[in-house]
């Protein structure tokens, strides 16, 4: 098999959460091609098993473990299983995430809390599972997958935007606190990426839609360059940045012209 190996990733042990689909799956595929050892975490065992076979990597280079990242003990156990197979985790990419629309007329706290639990607590649990080891070894890199939606409060996406904004500041703090301990922290914030989380309408209408492979490559470059925060693509960054400077009345009038993010029927609890 032809591979494009990269010295940075060679034999590095990388754990990716949410690796059964979309960006996480593309990250696993990209990292295996770069020569990394990759541990995949998600809830669906059959899908992870299927992906491992398509990765066609040596058995000591890839492994999977099932966990719901909202469960701290299950996440820690999954990481331990992967570390037994692949060695100490050197890069944790906390990518697992879900989207549920925030419909103010049918506000359901349980559904909205599920977004926070997966997108924020899930990242906290993923960090918790690897951080003591990284601090002990005085090396490691924590990575969170936020979103462009974390820069501004998008209409009908209140908890999703809040969850992704939380990751930006969480990782900004971690980066400062962990610097003297030799551990790095990077947060990446993509715009729309063509994965099962977006709707067919978004797929057809969104300009600058990235493929999952493009997003994965960009995320890996941000890690290699030890970026603090990487918002991409720049066109979406620019629009959101301009929105974030607008006075609140203007913001409200302008933002309503942006179509609301809808839920796909593939959302899994």
Query: Which residue, among 22, 19, 24, 56, has the nearest Cα to 40 in the 3D structure?
Result: 19
Q: Is 210 helix (H, G, I), strand (E, B) or coil?
A: strand
Nearer to ligand NAP, 34 or 118 (CB): 118
The span from the CA of 165 to the CA of 160, in Å, is 9
Is residue 100 involved in binding ligand NAP (CB under 6 A)? no
Is residue 69 involved in binding ligand NAP (CB under 6 A)? yes
Is residue 43 involved in binding ligand NAP (CB under 6 A)? yes
Among 34, 70, 102, 125, contact with ligand NAP (rule: CB under 6 A):
70
Separate counts of helices (H) and strands (E) for the chain = 10, 9
Alpha-helix runs per DSSP H in the chain: 22-33, 45-55, 72-86, 109-116, 122-137, 158-178, 200-205, 212-224, 234-245, 248-255
- 148 C-beta neighbours (distance < 10 Å), count: 21
**Which region, judged by CB under 6 A, interacts with ligand NAP, from 79-87, 179-187, 190-198, 243-251?**
190-198
Report cis status (omega within 30 of 0) of the bond before 193.
Answer: no
**Closest distance between ligand NAP and the C-beta of residue 43, in Å?**
3
Residue 251 designated active-site = no
Looking only at residues 203 through 242 of this chain, which bind ligand NAP when binding is defined by CB under 6 A? Answer: none
**Which region, judged by CB under 6 A, interacts with ligand NAP, from 38-46, 49-57, 127-135, 245-253?**
38-46
> Which residues are near ligand NAP by CB under 6 A?
17-24, 42-44, 47, 68-70, 95-98, 118, 122, 145, 147, 190, 192-193, 195-198, 268
Catalytic residues: 160
């Amino acid at each position: 098999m032809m591979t494009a190996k990269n010295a940075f990733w060679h034999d590095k042990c990388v754990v990716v959460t949410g690796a059964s689909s979309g960006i996480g799956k593309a990250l696993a595929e990209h990292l295996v091609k770069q020569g990394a050892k990759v541990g995949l975490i998600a809830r669906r065992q059959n899908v992870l098993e299927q992906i491992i076979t398509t990765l066609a990597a040596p058995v000591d280079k890839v492994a999977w473990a099932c966990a719901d990242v909202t469960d701290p003990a299950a996440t820690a156990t999954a990481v331990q299983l992967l570390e037994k197979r692949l060695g100490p985790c050197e890069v944790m990419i906390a990518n697992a995430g879900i989207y549920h629309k925030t419909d103010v007329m049918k506000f359901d706290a349980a559904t909205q809390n599920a977004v926070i639990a997966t997108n924020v607590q899930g990242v906290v649990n993923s960090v918790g599972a690897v951080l003591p080891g990284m601090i002990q070894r005085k090396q490691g890199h924590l990575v969170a997958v936020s979103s462009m939606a974390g820069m501004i409060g998008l209409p009908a996406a209140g908890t999703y935007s809040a969850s992704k904004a939380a990751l930006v500041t969480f990782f900004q703090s971690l980066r400062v606190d962990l610097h003297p301990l030799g551990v790095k922290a990077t947060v990446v914030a993509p715009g729309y990426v063509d994965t099962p989380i977006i709707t067919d309408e978004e797929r057809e209408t969104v300009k600058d839609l990235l493929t999952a492979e493009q997003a994965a490559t960009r995320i890996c470059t941000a890690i290699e360059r030890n970026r603090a925060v990487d918002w991409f693509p720049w066109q979406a960054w620019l629009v959101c940045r301009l929105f974030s400077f607008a006075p609140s009345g203007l913001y409200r009038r302008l933002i309503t012209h942006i179509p609301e993010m809808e839920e796909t029927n593939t959302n899994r609890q």
